[in-house]
């Protein structure tokens, strides 16, 4: 063997070894011209959707062609305005911005709604996205007010923000993994106002979640119920997973995204460590389908006949792009690219003949309640568009 051949062999072996350690090699997002054209046609349908404060699109029953429309109090109400803002950033078409402005104002009243822990989703996914496009004191005021409202649900003894107020006969102080996503509102409010209170509460909530919400394998429980008087954990359970010990796919996405976001604001390595650990659990799960789009719960006994959840995949993709930016671990970038390649096909993009303000199909909302199963759901589109922006 000559010297050149020997060096080539060594380099090839090194490359193979690195690829095996990362679990997946780097790749680019590949989208066919037909899929790109289909997506463009779907983007325009968002512009055509009639403006109505009581008809924010949440999901759609493909069989009946019925769009599930909600008012601002619904936790998903901020996503449609957010989608329009993100499309404006992606496409540069001022029509998206004009429509986004019209829809955004409908979420303003939620900045004073103390009956919901989802102030972050409702206010930050609308007004937060607006503020990324244009500096506006009114937008800032709504975000700060929303943060102050969210803080009223914080319990110092527990060290967390209370999630739901319903089912009081079942739990005393429920905290769900989804709540990690609402912390971005608090961090931003402290930046905008100079008041450290919001940031401090966000950190306390993240630390309590870090302590109690994760299993030894780094998957997370959906719900932790606390005793509000002592702060002790009463039980670890679920509402949207298959059972208490199952692994609800979207919950894992909320965890990776949420703790990566917390690292962005704090630079605390413990948050990055947890985000990486849960990301690896998700990426390497034996029940993950070949295309990376997870079943709605990793432990549903009906796998491989269980419904998928594109929304979980899109939350994970967006979170992984940010996680890669801090770690430079190529496996996160490659896996996010794989997810984005998978969904940008006619298998997951809604067909052009479906006239509705949605982009992607095959998400699962709440399987135990048989609600929004294998349908287009608005937040899948939101995190898909955010992932496109983060990739760029």
The residues assigned a catalytic role are 118, 178
Rg of the chain over Cα atoms, rounded to whole angstroms, equals 21
Tell me which residue of 173, 168, 171, 53 sits closest to 122, measured CA to CA.
53
| 8 A C-beta contact, residue 256 and residue 193 | no
CA 107, distance to chain mean position in Å, is 19
| SS3 assignment, position 164 | coil
| 8 A C-beta contact, residue 263 and residue 272 | yes
Dist CA 329 CA 341 (whole Å): 19
Angle (CA) 153 317 332, round 5°: 115
Which residues contact residue 238 at a Cβ distance below 8 angstroms, ignoring those fewer than 6 apart? 221, 222, 223, 244, 246, 248
Which residue intervals of the chain are DSSP H helices? 3-22, 33-48, 79-91, 94-104, 119, 129-133, 137-151, 183-193, 197-212, 249-266, 269-283, 310-327, 330-343, 378-391
Strand 174-176 and strand 233-237: the pairing is unpaired
Dist CA 258 CA 261 (whole Å): 5
| 8 A C-beta contact, residue 389 and residue 89 | yes
Dist CA 348 CA 359 (whole Å): 9
How far from 15 is each of 1, 3, 19, 157, CA to CA, in Å? 20, 18, 6, 51
Q: Is the dihedral of CA 196, 198, 201, 202 positive or negative?
A: negative
């Amino acid at each position: 063997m000559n010297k050149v051949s020997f060096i080539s062999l060594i380099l090839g072996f090194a490359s193979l070894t690195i690829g095996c350690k990362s679990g997946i090699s780097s790749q680019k997002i590949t989208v066919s011209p037909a899929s790109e054209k289909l997506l463009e046609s779907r983007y325009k349908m968002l512009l055509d959707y009639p403006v109505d404060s009581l008809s924010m699109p949440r999901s759609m029953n493909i069989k009946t062609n019925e769009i599930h429309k909600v008012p601002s109090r619904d936790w998903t109400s901020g996503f449609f305005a957010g989608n329009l803002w993100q499309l404006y950033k992606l496409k540069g078409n001022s029509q998206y911005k004009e429509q986004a402005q019209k829809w955004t104002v409908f979420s303003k009243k939620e900045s004073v709604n103390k009956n919901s822990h989802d102030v972050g989703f409702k206010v930050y996914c609308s007004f937060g996205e607006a503020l990324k496009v244009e500096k506006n004191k009114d937008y800032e005021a709504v975000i700060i007010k929303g943060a102050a409202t969210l803080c009223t649900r914080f319990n110092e003894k527990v060290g967390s923000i209370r999630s739901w107020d319903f089912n009081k006969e079942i739990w005393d102080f429920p905290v769900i993994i989804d709540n990690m996503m609402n912390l971005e509102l608090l961090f931003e409010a402290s930046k905008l106002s100079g008041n450290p209170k919001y940031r401090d509460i966000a950190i306390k909530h993240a630390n309590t979640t870090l302590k109690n919400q994760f299993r030894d394998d780094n998957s997370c429980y959906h719900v932790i119920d606390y005793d509000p008087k002592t702060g002790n954990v009463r039980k670890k359970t679920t509402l949207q997973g298959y059972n208490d010990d199952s692994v609800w796919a979207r919950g894992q996405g909320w965890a990776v995204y949420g703790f990566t976001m917390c690292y962005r604001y704090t630079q605390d390595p413990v948050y990055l460590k947890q985000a990486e650990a849960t990301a690896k659990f998700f990426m390497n799960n034996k029940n993950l389908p070949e295309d990376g789009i997870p079943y709605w719960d990793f432990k549903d006994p009906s796998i491989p006949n269980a419904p998928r959840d594109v929304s979980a995949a899109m939350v994970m993709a967006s979170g992984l792009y940010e996680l890669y930016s801090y770690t430079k671990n190529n496996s996160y970038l490659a896996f996010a690219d794989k997810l984005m390649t998978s969904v940008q096909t006619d298998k997951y993009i809604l067909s052009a003949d479906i006239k509705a303000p949605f982009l992607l199909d095959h998400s699962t909302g709440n399987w135990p309640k048989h609600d929004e199963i294998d349908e287009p759901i608005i937040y899948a589109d939101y995190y898909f568009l955010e992932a496109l922006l983060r990739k760029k």
